[in-house]
């Protein structure tokens, strides 16, 4: 239960911070979502740091990793987890699954948005 609460708290904080960072930045640019891009790239950096420090074992505990990586980065951006997972494929030399997962995620993600918009329009 404690671990779920840590994820919940980190996710809430990450979501609020994403809103506070991305909303004003996105209003600056009309052709490029600079706010979204910024939080996604920053989230990738943060999850890399958190998971890197966690791997060392003595810097961040499992609970701290849940709060920061799963919770905060999950709320701040899911792109960070996506990027880390792709790094894992590359690190292990699994280029085929890297390519399949990358393309499927992008294509199916966009198609899912289109489907959701279409379904919402139908009701």
Q: Point out the annotated binding site for Na(+).
A: 74, 77
Binding residues: 74, 77
Residues 104, 115: Cα–Cα separation, whole Å:
15
Residue 71 makes CB contacts below 8 A (sequence gap 6+) with: 6, 7, 8, 9, 10, 11, 13, 14
- Determine which helix (DSSP H) or strand (DSSP E) holds 23, and give its type and residue range: helix 2-28
Tokens of 74: 């999950």
CA 41 from chain center: how many Å?
9
């Amino acid at each position: 239960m404690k671990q779920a609460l840590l994820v919940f708290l980190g996710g809430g904080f990450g979501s609020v911070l994403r809103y506070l960072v991305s909303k004003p930045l996105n209003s600056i640019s009309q052709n490029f979502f600079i706010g979204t891009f910024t939080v996604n790239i920053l989230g990738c950096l943060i999850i890399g740091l958190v998971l890197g420090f966690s791997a060392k074992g003595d810097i961040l505990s499992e609970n701290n990793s849940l709060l920061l990586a799963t919770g905060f980065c999950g709320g701040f951006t899911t792109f960070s987890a996506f990027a880390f997972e792709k790094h894992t494929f590359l690190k292990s030399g699994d280029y085929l699954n890297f390519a399949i997962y990358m393309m499927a995620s992008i294509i199916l993600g966009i198609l899912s948005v289109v489907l959701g918009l279409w379904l919402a329009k139908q009701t």
